[in-house]
């Protein structure tokens, strides 16, 4: 019978969340290798139509001729396969239609494939699994409508038994995927819009009486000594479950050893029906004496094997679940994991891939988790939807706390849809189905109701459902939070603001709301757009010194730059507008701590440093180590120490690291000497996420600092003429401007003027040729005893210049001086409010390598606390700049600031052959103002008098 999909108009019916979709369950069924599992991923027939109304009723029929259709890979985003286009918007919807309407022009992908249902499957039920379809899908099997589903980030399963032909290899599966649906209004997250079948597709065979779901939640006893396991096994069959069926369950360690339990697992499946019947459910609650606790530091998992046994004693269905025993509680302004108020060092993560949109392989996911661990994070918020389910398996395994978020963001209609009864079912289901899928993951410590969707009755319904189904985890929802007011506690158990200024969270901590037991964990903070993440250290100082503050999640992991090949073959990372996508939000999607290919941005060094499991300090002349972890000793770490003099290593030693308990400290057997001690914190053995020897970070302690090398004496210039070293092609001029970083485009001030706008208006970008009025610059030159020039500079900045980018000098060095050495912070770039991730010592590099590839070019490559810098040619000749009075901020580059400011993409930059050197007496902090607070006051460059002295000395 032909199916009239157009008549159904399922894509514009918010009350229709699904049709014939099976209840969500935990993914415990058979997988690759099992005779009951068939993967359908691969090349499918594909045709993209302009509107869902154009789908012909015969599209799913076996006889329908798809021979002229294209072939595409499933899973994939069709937008990344040459169809339609990716489209980037943040708050605004990509189309003007008000909910629940969608545009008439509505790309609709028709997919067809053929699949075998083996004869051995006959007599059993066949379930189709669609991992994800964006944003609404109708499924046809051999021409019959098997069902409909919405929610672009959760799987849909359908019982297709009645429609398949057993023993046939040409069963036809057709999926009609409609890009814009009523559901799109609930999926207005800040990322690219795509379309397609974006996760795996498979069919599996289940016995008629089968395991419908296994809920297995590991916890800990109140005294935290023992593990606990809540097990709830649901069995189902075509006519209920007759007498005589049984569930067996067995718990083993990950190594396979049986585990002793207090209480029994498994039992007979109730078969009765009618009033008083609680379902075909087997429930157990057992104690696992002395079971090791799961935490991000100690991710120990156990294996639970569940089998369904028929009356004859045969096992007919099986499930395995990995269980971690941990307890999550809220109380006394703490979120406690296993009794400890763990500090959340989190990051927000989207499913993202530069070539595939949001289609990820197991390797992609693993690489993410490994990198997230390596950079010192202990938590992830799956912003803003349930991530690929394999991601949570990896978090269980490697140890990451997860806030699992429902696929619900109505940013453009923030204050309406949450009250709209037409969307009530969608609301509840998006939360409930996430919880049903992910309930067994030890890593999930809280459920998030979504993001930026206001706070309405629909949220209350979702929260109530989740609280009743899973009392073991707290709820998280930013949309209901107002700092300092006890609002929203019905839908959120944590106070989880986004981008609060430091003084606001401190004020919150210092003025508790009576009766509010909730801790504060920032759901988003430290916006990583471009060269950013200033003041991370100050956030952490506040968190560590105030009870009630428990950290937060950096925004965000990925720079969402999609790789795009231009007509001339150039490949670039693209952002909003690059695909002709209108309207768009430009480069606001480039705000991650990793670039689109997962290379780390410099900000990660800062985070890693702040997250180090140990802290080293000088106390009464001794080096003291403090264990800052919650659950682990120090035996997994190794410590080496370099003794530095004039920035060079004069001695290297291995330091004995005592095994201090969490929170404890001990003095090390190492005496301060040289100018500073540079400790490296390394892995003693292999961890699942990094090999032995991997460096977690460092600690640098100043020792008795006797600086060698005396500054050379200035003498009068002969004949008053400055004899610059030959390498200097343009002598030092005044520099007050930088190529604006994204944070410099702050939407602030009554006039809507950003610092970057003001700098232009003031002419700061032209200061080297024309000093802006109200600013005075004096340079005095002296010859140096021996050779070279001493430059004395004074800049007086008038009160009308409230906020400058920098005060310094810029000079140009001739081509060929490519080799770079410096004594200062490195190797990664540092700025006044982001410099802890880089120790002070001697470094070598090249001018070319100093480039930092922000996708939209901007100021980069700065080094704080530089004592000297040398630029040399291959023969070791060149020039040295010395800052003997005080260390300065230096950058060297093949790009002038205006080159960076004018380019829209990194690939447009053309390197100059000469070297542009900036020497700054003051450089503005970075802050995070592209979304959040600006840098702190002490890092601004304002009016006043700046004096600095430096020498330019020929080398060789
Ligand atoms: C938040 C939002 C994120 C992202 C971020 C800015 O408001 O929750 O999804 O848009 O701002 O990058
Ligand atoms: Mg948003």
Looking at residue 169, its pLDDT comes to 97
Long-range contacts, stretch 616-623, CB < 8 angstroms, 24+ apart: 616/668, 616/679, 616/699, 616/701, 617/701, 618/672, 618/701, 618/702, 619/667, 621/672, 622/667, 622/668, 623/667, 623/668, 623/670, 623/672, 623/677, 623/701
Model pLDDT for residues 219-250, shown as the tens digit of each residue: 999 999 999 999 999 999 999 999 999 999 99
- 399 pLDDT higher than 60: yes
Omega before 583 within 30 of 0, i.e. cis: yes
**530 alpha carbon – ligand 1 mean position (Å):** 15
- 751 pLDDT higher than 70: no
Of 73, 75, 86, 155, nearest to 354 by C-alpha is 86
Nearest CA to ligand 1 atom 6: 931
Model pLDDT for residues 347-377, shown as the tens digit of each residue: 999 999 999 999 999 999 999 999 999 999 9
Please identify, by atom number, the ligand 1 atom nearest to the C-alpha of residue 588: 12
Which of 93, 410, 555, 588 has most ligand 1 atoms within 8 Å of its beta carbon, as the pocket-test mutant? 555
Query: Measured between alpha carbons, how far is 528 from 538 in angstroms, rounded to an integer?
Result: 16
The 3-class SS string of 130-141 reads: ECCEECEEEEEE
Percent of the chain with pLDDT over 70: 98
Phi first, then psi, for residue 766 (nearest 5°) are -115, 15
Categorize the per-residue pLDDT at 487 as very low, low, confident or very high, splitting at 50, 70 and 90. Answer: confident
Which of 407, 450, 452, 561 has most ligand 1 atoms within 8 Å of its beta carbon, as the pocket-test mutant? 452
Nearest CA to ligand 1 atom 4: 190
At 419, list the tokens. 């009250």
Looking at residue 3, its pLDDT comes to 76
Q: Give me the DSSP letters along 321-387.
A: EEE-B--EEEETTEEEETTB---EEEEE----BTTTBT---HHHHHHHHHHHHHTT--EEE-TTS--
Please identify, by atom number, the ligand 1 atom nearest to the C-alpha of residue 91: 10
**414 alpha carbon – ligand 2 mean position (Å):** 10
Looking at residue 713, its pLDDT comes to 79
Cβ count within 10 A of residue 537? 16
Categorize the per-residue pLDDT at 722 as very low, low, confident or very high, splitting at 50, 70 and 90. Answer: confident
How far from each other are the two terminal CA atoms of the chain, in whole angstroms?
88
**190 alpha carbon – ligand 2 mean position (Å):** 5
Model pLDDT for residues 414-441, shown as the tens digit of each residue: 999 999 999 999 999 999 999 999 999 9
Mean pLDDT in residue range 798-827: 97
Model pLDDT for residues 524-572, shown as the tens digit of each residue: 999 999 999 999 999 999 999 999 999 999 999 999 999 999 999 999 9
Categorize the per-residue pLDDT at 721 as very low, low, confident or very high, splitting at 50, 70 and 90. Answer: confident
Angle (nearest 5°) at CA 609 between 604 and 615: 165
Ligand nearest to the CA of 350: 1
**191 alpha carbon – ligand 1 mean position (Å):** 9
Nearest CA to ligand 1 atom 10: 190
Ligand nearest to the CA of 349: 1
Please identify, by atom number, the ligand 1 atom nearest to the C-alpha of residue 384: 9
Categorize the per-residue pLDDT at 752 as very low, low, confident or very high, splitting at 50, 70 and 90. Answer: confident
Please identify, by atom number, the ligand 1 atom nearest to the C-alpha of residue 523: 8
Tell me if 141 sits within 8 A of 128, measured CB to CB.
Answer: yes
| Residue 542, CA atoms < 13 Å, CB-side half-sphere | 22
Mean pLDDT in residue range 775-800: 94
Query: Measured between alpha carbons, how far is 323 from 219 in angstroms, rounded to an integer?
Result: 9
Query: Measured between alpha carbons, how far is 884 from 256 in angstroms, rounded to an integer?
Result: 64
Please identify, by atom number, the ligand 1 atom nearest to the C-alpha of residue 529: 12
Which of 90, 93, 560 has most ligand 1 atoms within 8 Å of its beta carbon, as the pocket-test mutant? 90
- 485 pLDDT higher than 70: no
**573 alpha carbon – ligand 1 mean position (Å):** 20
Percent of the chain with pLDDT over 90: 92
Q: Is 718 exposed, middle or buried (0-12, 13-18, 19+ CB in 10 A)?
A: exposed
Model pLDDT for residues 122-152, shown as the tens digit of each residue: 999 999 999 999 999 999 999 999 999 999 9
Mean pLDDT in residue range 457-471: 98
Query: Measured between alpha carbons, how far is 629 from 612 in angstroms, rounded to an integer?
Result: 9
Nearest CA to ligand 1 atom 9: 190
Strand 201-206 relative to strand 171-178, pairing: unpaired
By annotation, the residues acting in catalysis are 452, 524
Cβ count within 10 A of residue 251? 23
Model pLDDT for residues 616-638, shown as the tens digit of each residue: 999 998 999 999 999 999 999 99
**559 alpha carbon – ligand 2 mean position (Å):** 16
List residues bridging with 714 in a β-sheet. 784
**604 alpha carbon – ligand 1 mean position (Å):** 19
Looking at residue 708, its pLDDT comes to 54
**348 alpha carbon – ligand 2 mean position (Å):** 13
Angle (nearest 5°) at CA 447 between 443 and 450: 130
Tokens 């392989």 sit on residue = 361
Categorize the per-residue pLDDT at 704 as very low, low, confident or very high, splitting at 50, 70 and 90. Answer: low
Query: Measured between alpha carbons, how far is 496 from 477 in angstroms, rounded to an integer?
Result: 7
Nearest CA to ligand 1 atom 2: 190
Ligand nearest to the CA of 385: 1
Nearest CA to ligand 1 atom 3: 190
User: Would you call 842 helix, strand, or coil by DSSP?
Assistant: strand
- 836 pLDDT higher than 70: yes
Please identify, by atom number, the ligand 1 atom nearest to the C-alpha of residue 589: 12
List residues bridging with 329 in a β-sheet. 336
Query: Measured between alpha carbons, how far is 436 from 750 in angstroms, rounded to an integer?
Result: 48
Looking at residue 301, its pLDDT comes to 98
- 44 pLDDT higher than 70: yes
Ligand nearest to the CA of 478: 1
**757 alpha carbon – ligand 1 mean position (Å):** 24
Task: Give me the helix-helix angle, 424-438 and 457-469, nearest 10°.
Answer: 30
Categorize the per-residue pLDDT at 719 as very low, low, confident or very high, splitting at 50, 70 and 90. Answer: low
Of 192-196, 348-352, 537-541, 744-748, which range is least confident?
A: 744-748
In sequence order, which residues have a C-beta less than 8 Å from that of residue 280 and are 6 or more positions away? Answer: 234, 235, 236, 237, 240, 241, 269, 270, 271
Q: How far is CA 247 from CA 207, 238, 769, in A?
A: 14, 18, 83
Q: Output the pTM of the full model.
A: 0.97
**593 alpha carbon – ligand 1 mean position (Å):** 14
Ligand nearest to the CA of 558: 1
In sequence order, which residues have a C-beta less than 8 Å from that of residue 68 and are 6 or more positions away? Answer: none
Look at phi and psi of residue 236 and say left if phi exceeds 0, alpha if psi is from -120 to 50, else beta.
beta
Query: Measured between alpha carbons, how far is 501 from 494 in angstroms, rounded to an integer?
Result: 18
**91 alpha carbon – ligand 2 mean position (Å):** 5
Which residue ranges have their beta carbon within 6 Å of ligand 1?
Answer: 90, 189-190, 384, 451-452, 498, 524, 527, 555, 591, 931
Please identify, by atom number, the ligand 1 atom nearest to the C-alpha of residue 478: 8
Please identify, by atom number, the ligand 1 atom nearest to the C-alpha of residue 931: 6
- 748 pLDDT higher than 60: no
Which of 351, 453, 524 has most ligand 1 atoms within 8 Å of its beta carbon, as the pocket-test mutant? 524
Model pLDDT for residues 301-340, shown as the tens digit of each residue: 999 999 999 999 999 999 999 999 999 999 999 999 999 9
In sequence order, which residues have a C-beta less than 8 Å from that of residue 22 and are 6 or more positions away? Answer: 127, 157, 158, 159
Ligand nearest to the CA of 557: 1
């Amino acid at each position: 019978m032909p199916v009239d999909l157009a008549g159904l108009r399922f894509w514009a019916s918010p009350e229709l969340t699904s049709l014939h979709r099976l209840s969500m369950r935990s993914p415990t069924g058979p997988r690759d290798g099992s005779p009951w599992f068939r993967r359908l991923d691969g090349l499918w027939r594909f045709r993209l139509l302009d509107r869902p109304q154009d789908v012909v009723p015969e599209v799913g029929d076996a006889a329908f001729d798809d021979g002229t259709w294209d072939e595409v890979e499933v899973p994939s985003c069709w937008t990344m396969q040459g169809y339609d286009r990716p489209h980037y918007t943040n708050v605004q919807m990509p189309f003007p239609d008000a909910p629940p309407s969608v545009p008439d022009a509505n790309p609709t992908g028709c997919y067809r494939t053929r699949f075998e249902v083996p004869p051995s499957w006959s007599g059993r039920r066949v379930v189709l699994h669609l991992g994800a379809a964006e944003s609404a899908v109708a499924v046809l099997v051999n021409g019959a409508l098997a069902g409909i589903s919405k929610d672009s980030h959760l799987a849909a399963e359908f019982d297709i038994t009645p429609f398949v032909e057993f023993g046939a290899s040409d069963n036809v599966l057709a999926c009609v995927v409609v890009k814009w649906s009523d559901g799109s209004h609930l999926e207005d997250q800040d990322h690219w819009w795509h379309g397609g079948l974006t996760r795996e597709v498979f069919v599996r065979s289940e016995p008629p009486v089968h395991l419908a779901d296994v809920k297995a939640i590991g916890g800990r006893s109140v005294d935290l000594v023992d593990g606990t396991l809540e097990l709830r096994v649901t069995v189902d069959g075509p006519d209920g479950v007759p007498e005589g069926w049984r569930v067996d369950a067995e718990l083993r360690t990950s190594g396979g050893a049986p585990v002793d339990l207090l209480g029994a697992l498994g039992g007979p499946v109730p078969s009765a029906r009618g009033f008083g019947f609680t379902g075909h459910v087997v429930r157990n609650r057992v104690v696992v004496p002395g079971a090791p606790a799961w935490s991000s530091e100690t991710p120990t998992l156990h294996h639970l094997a569940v089998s369904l046994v028929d009356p004859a004693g045969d096992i007919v269905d099986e499930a395995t679940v990995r269980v971690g025993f941990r307890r999550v509680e809220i109380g006394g302004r703490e979120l406690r994991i296993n009794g400890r108020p763990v500090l959340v060092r989190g990051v927000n993560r989207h499913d993202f891939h530069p070539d595939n949109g949001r289609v990820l392989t197991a390797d992609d996911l693993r690489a993410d988790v490994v990198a997230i661990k390596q950079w010192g994070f202990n938590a992830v918020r799956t912003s803003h939807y349930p991530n690929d389910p394999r991601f949570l398996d990896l978090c269980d395994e490697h140890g990451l706390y997860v806030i699992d978020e429902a696929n619900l963001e109505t940013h453009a209609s923030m204050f309406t849809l949450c009250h709209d009864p037409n969307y009530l079912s969608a609301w509840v289901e998006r939360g409930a189905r996430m919880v049903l899928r992910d309930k067994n993951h030890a890593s999930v410590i809280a459920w998030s109701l979504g993001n930026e969707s206001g706070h309405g009755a629909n949220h209350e319904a979702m929260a109530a459902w989740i609280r009743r189904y899973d009392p073991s985890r707290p709820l998280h929802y930013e949309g209901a939070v107002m700092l300092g007011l006890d609002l929203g506690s019905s839908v959120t158990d944590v106070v989880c603001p986004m981008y609060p200024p430091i003084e606001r969270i401190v004020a919150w901590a210092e003025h508790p709301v009576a009766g509010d037991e909730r801790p504060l964990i920032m759901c988003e903070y430290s916006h990583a757009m471009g060269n950013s993440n200033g003041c991370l250290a100050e956030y952490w100082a506040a968190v560590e010194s105030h009870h009630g503050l428990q950290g937060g999640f950096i925004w965000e992991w990925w720079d969402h730059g999609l790789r795009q090949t231009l007509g001339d073959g150039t490949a670039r990372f693209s952002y909003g507008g690059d695909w002709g996508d209108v309207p768009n939000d430009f480069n606001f999607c480039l705000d991650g701590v990793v670039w689109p290919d997962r290379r780390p941005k410099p900000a990660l060094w800062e985070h890693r440093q702040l997250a180090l499991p140990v802290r080293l300090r000088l106390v009464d002349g001794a080096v003291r180590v403090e264990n800052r972890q919650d659950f682990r000793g120090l035996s997994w770490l190794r410590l080496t120490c370099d003794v530095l003099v004039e920035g060079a290593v004069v001695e290297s030693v291995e330091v004995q690291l005592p095994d201090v308990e969490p929170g404890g400290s001990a003095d090390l057997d190492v005496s301060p000497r040289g100018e500073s001690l540079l400790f490296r914190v390394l892995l003693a053995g292999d961890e699942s996420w990094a090999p032995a020897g991997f460096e977690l970070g460092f600690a640098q302690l100043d020792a008795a600092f006797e600086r060698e090398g005396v500054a050379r004496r200035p003498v009068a210039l002969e004949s008053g003429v400055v004899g610059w070293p030959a390498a200097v092609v343009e002598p030092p001029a005044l520099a007050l401007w930088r190529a604006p970083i994204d944070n410099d485009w702050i939407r602030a001030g009554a006039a809507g003027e950003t610092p970057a706008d003001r700098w232009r208006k003031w002419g700061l970008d032209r200061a080297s040729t024309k000093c802006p009025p109200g600013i005075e610059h004096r340079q005095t030159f002296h010859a140096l005893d021996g050779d070279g020039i001493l430059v004395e500079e004074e800049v007086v900045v008038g009160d009308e210049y409230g906020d400058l980018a920098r005060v310094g000098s810029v000079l140009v060095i001739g081509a060929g001086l490519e080799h770079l050495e410096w004594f200062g912070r490195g190797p990664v770039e540092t700025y006044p409010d982001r410099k802890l991730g880089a120790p002070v010592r001697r470094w070598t590099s090249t001018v070319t390598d100093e480039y930092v590839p922000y996708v939209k070019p901007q100021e980069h490559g700065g080094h704080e606390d530089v004592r000297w810098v040398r630029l040399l040619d291959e023969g070791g000749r060149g020039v040295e700049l010395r800052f003997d009075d005080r260390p300065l901020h230096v950058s060297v580059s093949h790009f002038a600031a205006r080159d960076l400011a004018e380019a829209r993409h990194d690939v447009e930059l053309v390197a100059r052959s000469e070297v542009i050197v900036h020497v700054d007496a003051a450089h503005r902090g970075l802050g995070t103002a592209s979304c959040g607070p600006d840098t702190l006051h002490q890092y601004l460059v304002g009016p006043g008098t700046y004096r600095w002295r430096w020498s330019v000395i020929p080398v060789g």
